[in-house]
Amino acid sequence: MFLFVTLLILFSFMESQSEHLNLVGPEAPLVAVAGEDLVLPCFIRPNTSAVDMTVEWFRLYVDDSLVHLYKDHEDRNEKQAQSYRGRTSVFKEELQKGNASLKLSALRVSDEGEYKCLVDDKSWSDDITVHITVEVLGSHPVITMESYDNSGGINLLCESRGWKPEPEVLWLDREGATLPAEATQTHRDTEGFSVKRRITVYDYSDSNRFYCRLQQKHHMMETEVIINRKVFDTWKWAVGISVSACLIAVGLIVTAVVCYKKELRQVKQNAEQQRQRREDGQQKLRVAVGNYT
Ligand SMILES: *[C@@H]1O[C@H](CO)[C@@H](O)[C@H](O)[C@H]1NC(C)=O
Ligand SMILES: *[C@@H]1O[C@H](CO)[C@@H](O)[C@H](O)[C@H]1NC(C)=O
Q: Does 129 map to a domain?
A: yes
CA distance 21 to 181: 56
Among 204, 227, 250, identify where a domain stops: 227
**What is the full DSSP assignment across 257-290?**
HHHHHHHHHHHHHHHHHHHHHHHHHHHHHHHHHH
Instruction: Find the 121 Cα to ligand 2 centroid distance in Å.
Output: 21
Task: Flag whether the pTM goes above 0.85.
Answer: no
Same domain, 44 and 119: yes
State the total domains in the chain. Answer: 2
The closest-lying atom of ligand 1 relative to the alpha carbon of residue 97 is 14
Q: Which domain holds residue 35?
A: 20-134
Q: Do 44 and 22 meet the contact criterion of CB atoms below 8 Å apart?
A: yes
**The predicted structure's pLDDT at residue 6:** 53
15 vs 29, residue with greater confidence: 29
Instruction: Find the 97 Cα to ligand 1 centroid distance in Å.
Output: 7
- Amino acid in the structure at residue 283: Q
What are the tens digits of pLDDT across the range 89-134? 999 999 999 999 999 999 999 999 999 999 999 889 999 999 999 9
Q: Which helix (H) or strand (E) holds 135?
A: strand 125-135
Q: Does 1 map to a domain?
A: no
Give Cα separations from 203 to 158, 218, 288 (angstroms). 19, 33, 89
pLDDT band at 212 (very low <50, low <70, confident <90, very high): very high
**The predicted structure's pLDDT at residue 26:** 96
Q: Whose CA is nearest to atom 4 of ligand 1?
A: 47
Q: Whose CA is nearest to atom 10 of ligand 2?
A: 99
The closest-lying atom of ligand 2 relative to the alpha carbon of residue 103 is 4
Q: Does 87 map to a domain?
A: yes
- Cβ–ligand 2 contact at 235 (below 6 Å): no
Sheet containing 192-201, strands listed edge to edge, beginning at the edge strand earlier in sequence:
142-148, 154-163, 192-201, 185-189
CATH code where residue 159 lies: 2.60.40.10
CA distance 41 to 117: 9
Return the minimum-mean-pLDDT range out of 23-32, 96-105, 203-212. 203-212
Across 212-222, average pLDDT: 91
**The predicted structure's pLDDT at residue 89:** 97
Picking from 107, 215, 102, the residue whose alpha carbon sits closest to that of residue 166 is 215
